[in-house]
Every structure is written in structure tokens, then in C-alpha cells.
């Protein structure tokens, strides 16, 4: 965790340095004799393509980070999304066809999305992967990745549950087959073997609540419910209340409501992957590559999580969550 934070601080410092250089050049300061894009303040168009589901507040943080980086680096950001893997792959092809300077994409279903990612790389378009696909991005020619180690994050949850609230655990997956979600629950089971997976339809929150509630009523031995998204956590909390269960609710990811629930004790803790940082660094890394040929991470992923948020550190994070930056 300490090494991760140190790397992130270094990346932010690199980004800030780039801003200073650009500002000086545009104001007639020290000029690059070769007339580089950075010195001239050249504008770039970058496509960001994600598997965002409608209404999922998690992606607001991704976009806020990406848009902040775009504003800082003179970039036009074209954001598009589709939770269907085939449609997301088509959006990547559209970005290639439109002649963008770079692409930042998630890879939740690599087999479907990866081939068009490889097309972009083969066409000479720099591609950065983020958020999903940590174990697969290299297979499609991508050299940079920003996100959480989901297996490690899951193991972190399992270890903490085993120490604090041992017992039967249900890990709720809202999109069956997405590699990052499956990895989280698999990680939980590695360090808390008394874990079973419950699949729900994350596109229908009332149905999610009903499914979790039915499971809690059916099995009184459930001690922990682990959810993989903030909206699913809130549905689990309501299901717990309606069923009279005493199970602890733990989640991945944050939003303002989850932050308040952690503060009040209704949710035990969250594993935050810091999506604002993912969006910001994906765009910034492309800018650095386009203007200075930089590759960040040494061929490995740059980790933005896992970062535990609980009652011990929730205080200032509530404000950040309300601002959609955490």
C-alpha cells in the first residue's frame, strides 16, 4: 500500500511538472528548440471508452478525473460507454475510424474487446487500459494500465472479515463474467474460504434487493454480505433491514451515500479503487506519451487500490465523495 501511494504521488508530480512546462511555453518562456507538441501546446483528441452502466454513480468519478486531466492538458475528450461487450468493442472501432490521437479503455471482457484494442495499437494509436483487465491488457499490445489489483483487493476483504466478523459470507456479483468482478469474489474466498457467490442482475436494483433479501431470509447463518459496487451495497443494506438479518455489509467502491453509511456504521467498510485517479491518470499518461514518448509503470500495472475506507478515516472522505472525486 505504501509503495502504491508513493507511485501515485510521483505520477501526480510528473503531471504537475508537465503543466508547468506547457504554461511556460505558451507564455513565451523557455521554448523547445525542436518545436515539440508540448511546447507548442498542440491539441489532441482522446477517446475514453468504458463499460459504464446507466445510473451507476461510480463512473461520475472516472469522468471527473478524465475531464480534469483533459482540461489541464489541452485535450478534447470524447467519452462513450456501453455495458455490452460487443457494443463497447464497436465504440473502440469507431474511435479508431475517427482518427483519435489516443484511446483509454476498460477491458471487463477481454476476449470481446481485446481484438479491437489490438487494431488500435497496430494502427499506431497509443492505448491505455484502466479499471478492468489487469491480467489481460498486455495480451493486446497495451503497455500501460491504471487500476486496482482486484485479486489482492478481494484477499484484503477476506482477511479482514476473517479477523473481525468470521462466518459464512455471500459475495454478490452483479455482472456475471466480468473479469474484475469475478476476481474480487475469488480473492475473498482465498482468505475467507467460507464464501459463496451470489449472482444478481445489476441492471435491475429492485431485483437485486429482492434476491439478496431472499438469500438472507433463507440462510440465517450468513454473517457477511460483500458487494462489488456502491449501488449494490445500498440495495443489500435495505435487504438486510427488510429481512431482519444481522449480517455485516461490506462493499467495494464508494459514493456519497455509502460514505455516509460507513460513517454511521451501517456499512462496515469499503475497498476503494480511487476511480478519479484512474480517469485522471489514464488521460495524463496518454498526454505524456503523445508529447514526450513516456510509458508509465515499467510494463506493469500502476495500482490505484485497494484502499480501505472505514470509520477510522471516513471523516474527510465524506466531503470528497460528495464532490464525486472519491
What pLDDT, in 10s, does the model give residues 63-83? 999 999 999 999 999 999 999
- What's residue 40's pLDDT? 53
Average pLDDT of span 243-264: 96
Mean pLDDT of the chain: 90
Spatial separation of the C-alpha atoms in residues 294 and 317, rounded to whole Å: 32
Task: Output the nine-digit C-alpha cell for 192.
Answer: 475467507
- What's residue 41's pLDDT? 66
What pLDDT, in 10s, does the model give residues 15-46? 444 433 333 333 333 334 334 444 456 899 99
Average pLDDT of span 77-98: 98
End-to-end CA distance of the chain: 17
DSSP letter string over 199-259? E--TT-HHHHHHHHHHHHHH-TTEEEEEESSHHHHHHHHHHHHHHT--PEEEEES--HHHH
Task: Count how many residues are written for the chain.
Answer: 326
pLDDT at 13 over 50: no
Instruction: Write down the pTM of the prediction.
Output: 0.84
Quickly state the pLDDT bin for 57 (edges 50, 70, 90).
Answer: confident
* Beta bridge partner(s), residue 129: 105, 145
Q: How many CB atoms lie within 10 A of CB 118?
A: 15
Spell out the residues 6+ positions from residue 132 whose beta carbon is closer than 8 angstroms to its own. 51, 106, 107, 108, 147, 178, 179, 180
Amino acid at each position: 500500500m505504501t509503495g502504491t501511494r508513493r507511485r501515485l504521488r510521483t505520477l501526480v508530480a510528473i503531471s504537475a511538472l508537465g503543466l508547468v512546462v506547457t504554461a511556460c511555453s505558451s507564455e513565451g518562456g523557455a521554448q523547445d528548440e525542436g518545436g515539440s507538441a508540448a511546447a507548442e501546446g498542440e491539441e489532441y483528441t482522446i477517446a475514453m471508452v468504458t463499460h459504464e452502466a446507466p445510473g451507476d454513480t461510480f463512473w461520475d468519478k472516472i469522468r471527473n478525473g478524465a475531464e480534469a486531466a483533459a482540461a489541464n492538458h489541452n485535450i478534447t475528450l470524447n467519452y462513450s460507454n456501453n455495458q455490452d461487450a460487443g457494443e463497447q468493442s464497436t465504440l473502440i472501432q469507431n474511435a479508431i475510424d475517427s482518427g483519435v490521437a489516443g484511446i483509454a479503455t476498460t477491458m471487463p471482457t477481454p476476449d470481446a474487446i481485446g481484438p479491437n484494442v489490438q487494431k488500435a495499437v497496430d494502427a499506431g494509436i497509443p492505448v491505455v487500459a484502466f479499471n478492468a483487465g489487469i491480467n489481460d491488457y498486455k495480451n493486446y499490445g497495451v503497455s500501460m494500465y491504471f487500476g486496482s489489483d482486484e485479486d489482492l483487493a478481494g484477499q484484503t476483504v477476506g482477511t479482514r472479515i476473517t479477523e473481525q466478523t468470521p462466518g459464512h459470507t455471500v459475495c454478490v456479483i452483479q455482472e456475471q463474467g466480468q473479469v474484475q468482478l469475478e476476481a474480487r469474489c475469488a480473492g475473498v474466498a482465498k482468505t475467507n474460504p467460507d464464501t459463496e457467490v451470489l449472482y444478481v442482475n445489476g441492471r435491475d436494483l429492485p431485483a437485486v434487493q429482492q434476491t439478496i433479501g431472499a438469500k438472507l431470509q433463507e440462510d440465517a447463518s450468513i454473517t457477511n454480505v460483500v458487494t462489488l459496487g456502491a449501488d449494490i451495497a445500498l440495495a443489500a443494506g435495505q435487504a438486510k433491514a427488510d429481512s431482519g438479518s444481522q449480517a455485516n455489509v461490506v462493499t467495494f467502491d464508494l459514493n456519497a451515500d455509502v460514505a455516509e453509511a460507513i460513517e454511521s456504521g451501517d456499512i462496515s467498510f469499503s475497498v476503494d479503487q480511487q476511480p478519479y485517479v484512474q480517469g485522471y491518470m489514464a488521460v495524463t499518461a496518454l498526454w505524456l506519451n503523445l508529447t514526450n514518448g513516456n510509458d508509465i509503470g515499467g510494463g506493469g500495472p500502476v495500482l490505484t487500490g485497494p484502499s480501505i475506507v472505514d470509520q477510522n478515516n471516513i471523516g474527510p472522505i465524506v466531503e470528497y465523495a460528495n464532490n464525486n472525486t472519491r
